[in-house]
Amino acid sequence: MRDTRSFLRSLFDAAISSAQPSRCVAPFLPQEPPRGRFIVLGAGKASAAMAKAVEDHWDGPLEGLVVTRYGYNVPCERIEIVEAAHPVPDDQGLLAARRMMDYVSDLSEDDEILCLISGGGSALLSLPLDGITLEEKQAVNKALLACGATITEMNCLRRHLSAVKGGRLAAACYPAKLTTLLISDVPGDNPMDIASGPTVADPTTRDDALEIVQRYKLDLPASVMAALESSKSESLKPGDPKLSRCEAHIVAAPQLALEAAAKVARDAGVTTHILGDSLEGEASDVGTIMAGLARQIVTKGQPFEKPCLLLSGGETTVTLKGDGRGGRNVEFLLSLAVGLNGLEGVHALAGDTDGVDGVEEIAGAIATPDTIKRAFDKGMNPRKELANNNGHGFFEALGDSVVTGPTMTNVNDFRAILIE
């Protein structure tokens, strides 16, 4: 009899391991040092580990500044690592962004910048446009996190309110050569959506950002609205001369993480199906749909024969209605468990590969066929807990939380459903 909990956890660990900077950064380093300075910049939950990978594989002169999430620091000797808040920015992130822009203010075409970008960089590299305070930027972030906007929509708005995102950091580096290495945490792996694209062109406009504000009926500070209605909020567009010496490479991505997990499963003799690396939508809706798919497989053997494993990634959203301890992965998982309602032979794990689901220092959780029964035995009503967005509280009470600690990487959400 398979130990399903250990098996599911081994898949999650394999996905995380595949995206470790120590494995994926070195192949993309320059072949020879530049004639001028070689500077490393970076932002994101994986950026400190990426910086350490650069130091470990680069013998020449090296300097730089990287900002990562509190608790995600990896000590470096030649690159300064700064810690700041995520998902709501703080003054340390603002200070780091300002220092970064100053750092590159007088470069020449002989200099070379290596920019290390990963998920979380939007909040960590927070320098608002002139006229917008940090407190007002924090209010924007909180509104976006609560309204159910997709990551693409969030980042469109962020790019048009930032003095560093939307290609503005790249423009500040010009005329130096700029190479960006990206660990993707977004559906579709579009560089402009990874940390809101500080070093790449942005084809979206401020009109697009204003439409998002209107669609979600966001109540934003007057200064923010004034900035969006002004031409100063426009980001750098494709073809801008200041981006002519820039290139970008994705070094790790959700699909690669799913493939790593699939290999572990197939090596264990489990037929595996990857459903996609960019599933989006309300977390509870995706959970309901996946429960329906699992039930179809169990009862009718379609569209896949059992036993099998279903893997998926992407970034769902949560529209907050309750006041529970939630996160999108545990919201998905609780919705799945409610939809399965104790269906025999179905086990699942959902977690964020950065080790933090929502604002909790918990990566995700595991659901089993007896999840619903055990919840009622403890006096919890699963549907009420779901309505209250209390996924973490629910699974923690059952002892089913998945805790990894800081993983030093981030390739978005990981979902595995094992049907025995």
pLDDT, tens only, 124-141:
999 999 999 999 999 998
Residue type, 191: P
Q: Are residues 227 and 323 in the same domain?
A: no
| Dist CA 364 CA 414 (whole Å) | 9
Q: Which of 206, 232, 252 is the last residue of a domain?
A: 252
Tell me which residue of 248, 277, 272 sits closest to 353, measured CA to CA: 277
Q: Are residues 9 and 43 in the same domain?
A: no
Write down the pLDDT at residue 145: 84
pLDDT at 151 over 90: no
Q: Are residues 72 and 9 in the same domain?
A: no
Q: Are residues 272 and 134 in the same domain?
A: no
Residue 396: DSSP 8-state: H
Distances (CA, A) of 141 to 98, 176, 347: 19, 32, 34
Structure tokens at 97: 């962004």
Q: Are residues 225 and 314 in the same domain?
A: no
Domain with residue 63: its CATH number is 3.40.50.10180
| Dist CA 167 CA 163 (whole Å) | 9
For the stretch 152-170, pLDDT in tens is: 999 999 999 999 999 999 9
Q: Are residues 229 and 301 in the same domain?
A: no
Mean pLDDT, residues 241-266 taken together? 97
Q: Which of 252, 270, 294 is the last residue of a domain?
A: 252
Residue type, 6: S
Sheet containing 401-402: give its strands across.
Answer: 272-279, 308-314, 413-419, 346-352, 364-367, 401-402
Query: Which runs of E-coded beta strand occur in 184-305?
Result: 246-252, 272-279
pLDDT at 253 over 90: yes
Tell me which residue of 130, 414, 119, 142 sits closest to 279, measured CA to CA: 414
Write down the pLDDT at residue 1: 47
Q: Are residues 191 and 59 in the same domain?
A: yes
Distance of CA 226 to the CA centre of its chain: 29
Q: Which of 200, 229, 252 is the last residue of a domain?
A: 252
Q: How many CB atoms lie within 10 A of CB 9?
A: 17
Residue 344 burial (10 A CB sphere; 0-12, 13-18, 19+): exposed
| Dist CA 154 CA 22 (whole Å) | 30
In the chain, % of residues over pLDDT 70 = 100
Q: Are residues 242 and 308 in the same domain?
A: no
Q: Are residues 178 and 272 in the same domain?
A: no
Write down the pLDDT at residue 387: 97
Entry field: residues in the chain: 420
Classify strands 63-69 and 38-43 as parallel, antiparallel or unpaired.
parallel
Q: What is the pTM of this model?
A: 0.89
Domain carrying residue 377: 4-14+255-419
Write down the pLDDT at residue 124: 96
Q: How many CB atoms lie within 10 A of CB 60?
A: 9
Structure tokens at 61: 């002169």
Q: How many domains does the chain have?
A: 2
Q: Are residues 195 and 324 in the same domain?
A: no
First to last CA, the chain: 10
Tell me which residue of 389, 363, 387 sits closest to 15, measured CA to CA: 363
371 falls in which pLDDT band (50, 70, 90)? Answer: very high
C-beta of residue 354 within 8 angstroms of C-beta of residue 410: yes
Mean pLDDT, residues 42-63 taken together? 96
Residue type, 29: L
For the stretch 65-98, pLDDT in tens is: 999 999 999 999 999 999 999 988 999 999 999 9
Q: Are residues 299 and 411 in the same domain?
A: yes
Q: Are residues 230 and 187 in the same domain?
A: yes
Residue 33 burial (10 A CB sphere; 0-12, 13-18, 19+): middle
Domain with residue 370: its CATH number is 3.40.1480.10
Q: How many CA atoms lie within 13 A of 138 on its CB side?
A: 12
* SS3 state at 244: coil
Residue 269: DSSP 8-state: T
Q: How many CB atoms lie within 10 A of CB 266?
A: 12
Q: Vertex 97, ends 95 and 244: CA angle to 5°?
A: 160
